[in-house]
Structure 1
Amino acid sequence: MPMNLAFLASHGGSAARHLTTACRAGELDATPVALISNNSRSPALEWAREEGLQTSHLSSARYPDPDELDAAILQVLREADADLLILSGYMRELGPRVLNAYAGRVLNIHPSLLPSHGGRGMYGDRVHRAVLEAGDTRSGATVHLVTAGIDEGPRLAQQEVPVRPGDTLEKLKARVQAIESELMLRAVQELVAELKPKEART
């Protein structure tokens, strides 16, 4: 049986879109089942509804208590029978309930070669700016398992891109973004293949 994928997204949800396309093209032995967003105006929510995924808007505005938000997210994931959780540009930290329930099954992609330029407050343009300011000659993207430590989980896949002389933030960002979707797909394919034999034994 294919594994069920759920997604957390705050904005466009590019990873969710790419993985869903791969599932439906037979490139990934999984089924997209749900998308949760903390942003009611997220384009990812609209897209997920059109694709027939279960959708939920769960935010700190609706659940001011972080523990209640954590529990609400976990409830949606369990109702959707999700096996893997993919963070697709999700701009919030996960709580201990979700992290414990899905230990080893939550993936995120970070726009640098971790452990460089990771950690709290390092996301999006801040990462690319830090790479340029550090004078690095290479950057890239890293897919990692999500743990309680920000960007500290085991690294599953990395791919480098060059930092070229005269690069602007936008040029470097575009170069990194160009590799992210396929890198995430390869990491999910490998994790699904690794977990499937274990699922068969349980």
Structure 2
Amino acid sequence: MPKLWRPLWIIALLITGVCASLLCWISATTASQIRARQSGTTERNSQNVEAFLKSYGSLAPIRYRYTDIKKLTKSFKDTLGEGGYGHVYKVRIDGHSMAVKVLKVLKGSGEEFLHGVLSISRTSHVNVVTLLGLRLDGKRGALICEFLPSGSLEKFTHGASGGQALPSETMFSIAVGITKGLDDLHEDVCRFGMMALDMVYGRTNISAEV
């Protein structure tokens, strides 16, 4: 190799090494920032859950950890069903059958999940299952609700061959019940939202109203 090319090769190797080191540093820094954001999100979610449970006092749903859910579901074996949002498992807690819905990865920071939990827990209606517990770790969530031994509504509205299994009168009665349940749920949510606005803006004497 001519002597003139040797310095060029050395310079090229040095530039390559510097670029490789720079790429490694950028990758490591980016990964560290992502982990920090995830850790911060998990911490905020944990604080939000704790504040939510504290506001309910003794009536608050129980908070479970991932290890608790895994143990209750026997490593996720007793499956009741599967949907677009996750799997549902049957468990027994203190001698009572319950259903655990393990959700897929949550969108955003998990605040939407927490708001949904808030809506369910503040609603008491015969057509709405009772929330008994929850789990929220980062982007993983689970709901523990009362178990309905008769199965879902789909089981009764459709037969084994996909045809209608219930008479039209019964189907109409079910539709009316669902509509009434949704109407009550809407009223409960609106009532809670208006009370929250009144508390924020001080337009109502909350203590007198409650």
Q: Do Structure 1 and Structure 2 share a fold, with TM-score over 0.5?
A: no
By relative contact order (CA 8 Å, sep 6+), the higher-ranking structure is: 1
TM-score when scaled to structure 1?
0.23
Higher normalized helix content (fraction of residues): 2
Pick the structure with greater CA Rg. Answer: 2
TM-score when scaled to structure 2?
0.22
Higher normalized strand content (fraction of residues): 1
